[in-house]
Amino acid sequence: MTPPRAPRRALLLACLGFLVALGLSHPPAVAAPASPAAASTVHSTAAVYDVRSYGAKGDGSANDTPAVQKAVDAASAAGGGTVLVPAPGTYKSKNTIHMKSRVTLQVDKGATLQGSDADTYDPPESNPNDKYQDYGHSHFHNAMIYGDRLTDIAFTGGGVIDGGGSLITGNPKSGEADKIISLTRCDGLRLGDGLTLRRGGHFAALVNGCANVTSDHLTIDTASDRDGWNIISTTNVTVTGAHIKANDDALVFKSDYALGAKLPNGHVRVSDSYLSAVCCNALMFGSETCGDFTDYQFARIRIEGSNKSGLGMVSMDGAKISDVHYRDITMTDVHAPITQKIGTRKRCGNDPGVGSISDITYDNITATGSSPSYSPTLWGEAGAHRIRNVTFTHVDLTVPGGNGTMGTGVPSNDPNNYNPNSIGTRPAYGWYLHNADGIAFTDSSVRLAADDGRPAVIANSASSVKFTRFTAQRGGNAPYDMGFQTVTGYCVADSHTTSGGALRTSGTGSTSDCGAPGTRYEAENAASSAGSTVDTDHRGYSGTGFVNTSNVSGSYVEWTADAASAGPRTISLGYTNGSTADRPMDIAVNGTLVAAHVSFPPTGDWTAWRTVDVTVPLTAGANTIRTTATASGGCPNLDYLDVPA
């Protein structure tokens, strides 16, 4: 009778392991993964190199680094493969593992690759650019796992890579490691697939000068150590489903001079993730900011706890930061919910000058702050280094309050310090804007948890500052609600206190023409396609209800709206879309299509009302404006149409 295959394979592996222990044989690659978990993350054509076949014990005591390294080297020599750390077992790693190109290190669920305090890791390499960044950013070799100039590498599996409390959170001595994964100049990195990085010392993961990075379902727990993941001078990054708990910064994007050059950053997408930071920043740009940053999108992120910034952005070393977009983000217990600052530290080679921040959007952001001093702040530098073109739409913040009245002069500032406390207590409990141009708030609000004697908003040395449908809670002894100090072109339109009263403004500078209020046309009074209903079951709507059309392409709502004169108007459509799919619509005016397939993206909940603005041509007098669904989901729930005068 032919023996079953599994026992024969097990016997073969045992024999090979015995020969390896005697130094008599170099084991061949195992042709199939040792477990179903391994099979799910390995390409069918890739050979698997089980570290036990190379002498690993997995007993939590013996040094298994030589076995892991042999497996990595064998996979690399064969042109690539998967190095499997199988379950169960705790594999002690007392030396630096040198990663190789086209190798996947897969730690099985139930297995742990654990660090050591034996002080036998690679020493830090010398770096002539030490002075431009902190020690931990300047040295890469002193890590549990290190690689340079690698291609197509991965760290996966449902298991754990754990520093074991042995990695250093400060400046390590020779032989000590201060990070789990340290990679430079790599192209093609996958990190996650259920993997957990725990107790990472200074950094759980540090990548610098890399490209084409993907991460899905990565867990990092460094709440007892320092940083979660630092992504430095790196382009083309996609992170989904991350769960990062850090003590210092959780997920941070930086650009330093550790590699001897200013390198580009950008084309980054982060979504559907959870972040927390005990002492510092949750989602951060900087402080190391040499090279420029552009094209970042952050969506559907939950942040719980941050003793500095929830959403932080600083340019300290000459970087231009632009084209950054935040959407659908919830924050709780953050000291400074939103911070932008331009500083003049200039810690970068080749005379970097002063940087800039521009073209940033925040959409559907809610936050509760935890410090009365660190008000949400935009702080630019004078001249060409002001903050420009930042929009806030449906940004609703609740801050602690609790301060008394104070002077409304410009607070102190340390231009070499990036932390929120580098600026003195803000004279506004809500938003403080300084050296900022082209700032717009729409359908947004700021509220107090406790009474406060400061105004809700102060803008100082600014231009083109606009608040539309802005709601602010009034502090009991505040001298006014919104202050404009030397501001060119400010306006407050259709905005109120939380009790519905008019906002009190105080201004020096000039007001801009906010335009006439225009007219609101409620959807429940418009014509609509067959099967539509006027509903009231989702709170937050305007008027007496909203229109819920049939879920078919071609469903529509049509308003008749008046215009005093012919010309273009930017109309606003109030809607909600609690589904998970976009519900695009065509916009027609007087029977002519003027905007095709306009996006009405998900709002996260049917009670989350948003607006979409579309510029359309109107004739003098009555106009028909029809919105028609172009997808099978039908129209979003439509609330109203606003038409400027």
Q: What type of residue sits at position 182?
A: S
pLDDT digits (tens, 9 = 90+) for 79-112: 999 999 999 999 999 999 999 999 999 999 999 9
Tell me, yes or no, whether 89 lies in a domain.
yes
pLDDT digits (tens, 9 = 90+) for 460-476: 999 999 999 999 999 98
Give residue for tokens 């089980």.
50
Chain centre to alpha carbon of residue 140: 25
Give residue for tokens 């029809």.
626
Secondary structure of 209-229 in HEC code, one letter for each residue:
CCEEEEEECCEEEECCCCEEE
Average of per-residue pLDDT across 336-350? 96
The confidence score (pLDDT) of residue 30 equals 41
Where does residue 442 fall: left (phi above 0), alpha (psi -120 to 50 degrees), or beta otherwise?
beta
Where does residue 634 fall: left (phi above 0), alpha (psi -120 to 50 degrees), or beta otherwise?
left
Which ranges constitute the DSSP H helices of 353-499? none
Are residue 431 and residue 372 in the same domain, yes or no?
Answer: yes
Are residue 383 and residue 474 in the same domain, yes or no?
Answer: yes
Q: How many residues does the chain have?
A: 645
Residue 20 has pLDDT above 80, yes or no: no
Number of Cα atoms under 13 Å in the Cβ half of residue 100: 17
Comparing 27-31, 444-448, 471-475, 519-523, which segment has the lowest mean pLDDT? Answer: 27-31
Specify the pairing of strand 585-589 against strand 592-598: antiparallel
Are residue 68 and residue 11 in the same domain, yes or no?
Answer: yes
Secondary structure of 66-101 in HEC code, one letter for each residue:
HHHHHHHHHHHHCCCEEEEECCCEEEECCCCEECCC
Tell me, yes or no, whether 221 lies in a domain.
no
Are residue 511 and residue 545 in the same domain, yes or no?
Answer: no
The DSSP secondary-structure symbol of 602 reads -
What is the spatial distance between Cα 149 and Cα 210, in angstroms, rounded to a whole number? 9
Are residue 469 and residue 554 in the same domain, yes or no?
Answer: no
H or E segment and range at residue 39: helix 36-39
Give residue for tokens 């209800």.
545
The token pair that represents 68 in the structure block: 């892991």
- Nearest alpha carbon to residue 216 among 233, 237, 234, 186: 237
pLDDT digits (tens, 9 = 90+) for 112-158: 999 999 999 999 999 999 999 999 999 999 999 999 999 999 999 99
Residue 57 has pLDDT above 60, yes or no: yes
Tell me, yes or no, whether 472 lies in a domain.
yes
Are residue 542 and residue 399 in the same domain, yes or no?
Answer: no
Tell me, yes or no, whether 612 lies in a domain.
yes
What is the spatial distance between Cα 377 and Cα 384, in angstroms, rounded to a whole number? 19
H or E segment and range at residue 65: helix 65-77
Sequence-ordered list of residues with C-beta below 8 angstroms from that of 351, at least 6 positions apart, any chain:
none
Tell me, yes or no, whether 122 lies in a domain.
no
Query: What residue numbers bound the domain in which 433 lies?
Result: 344-515
**Domain end residue (candidates: 48, 63, 94):** 94
Specify the pairing of strand 431-442 against strand 377-379: parallel
Domain count, the chain: 3
pLDDT digits (tens, 9 = 90+) for 521-558: 999 999 999 999 999 999 878 889 999 999 999 999 99
What is the spatial distance between Cα 124 and Cα 119, in angstroms, rounded to a whole number? 12
CA distances 351 to 254, 261, 317, 495, 522, Å, are 18, 12, 9, 45, 57
Give residue for tokens 């609790």.
402
Tell me, yes or no, whether 325 lies in a domain.
no
Highest mean pLDDT among 52-56, 366-370, 505-509, 600-604: 52-56
H or E segment and range at residue 6: helix 5-22
Are residue 532 and residue 477 in the same domain, yes or no?
Answer: no
Are residue 376 and residue 466 in the same domain, yes or no?
Answer: yes
What's this model's pTM, rounded to 2 decimal places? 0.80
Listed in order, strand segments (DSSP E) in 471-518 are 471-472, 482-493, 496-497, 505-511
Average of per-residue pLDDT across 392-408? 93
Q: How confident is the model at residue 517 (pLDDT cuts 50, 70, 90)?
A: low
Please count the helices (runs of H) and the strands (runs of E) in the chain. Answer: 4, 45
Are residue 573 and residue 639 in the same domain, yes or no?
Answer: yes
Q: How confident is the model at residue 34 (pLDDT cuts 50, 70, 90)?
A: very low
Are residue 509 and residue 539 in the same domain, yes or no?
Answer: no
The DSSP secondary-structure symbol of 619 reads -
What is the spatial distance between Cα 475 and Cα 482, in angstroms, rounded to a whole number? 11
Tell me, yes or no, whether 292 lies in a domain.
no
Give residue for tokens 């002069």.
409
What is the spatial distance between Cα 312 and Cα 639, in angstroms, rounded to a whole number? 34
Q: Are 221 and 199 within 8 A, CB to CB?
A: yes
Residue 314 has pLDDT above 60, yes or no: yes
- Nearest alpha carbon to residue 633 among 573, 559, 552, 572: 552
Tell me, yes or no, whether 207 lies in a domain.
no
The confidence score (pLDDT) of residue 43 equals 39
Number of Cα atoms under 13 Å in the Cβ half of residue 109: 11
A 10 A CB-CB count for 624 gives: 14
The DSSP secondary-structure symbol of 415 reads T
The confidence score (pLDDT) of residue 515 equals 64
Give residue for tokens 């976009």.
582
Q: Are 267 and 298 within 8 A, CB to CB?
A: no
What is the spatial distance between Cα 253 and Cα 436, in angstroms, rounded to a whole number? 23
Q: What angle do CA 22, 12, 14 make, to 5 degrees?
A: 50
Q: Are 122 and 139 within 8 A, CB to CB?
A: no
Q: What is the CATH number of the domain that holds 575?
A: 2.60.120.260
**Domain end residue (candidates: 451, 483, 515):** 515
What is the spatial distance between Cα 72 and Cα 539, in angstroms, rounded to a whole number? 58
A 10 A CB-CB count for 607 gives: 13
Q: In sequence order, what are the beta bridge partners of 49?
A: 83
Q: Are 535 and 548 within 8 A, CB to CB?
A: yes
Burial of 242 (0-12, 13-18, 19+ CB in 10 A): buried
Are residue 486 and residue 526 in the same domain, yes or no?
Answer: no
Are residue 621 and residue 538 in the same domain, yes or no?
Answer: yes
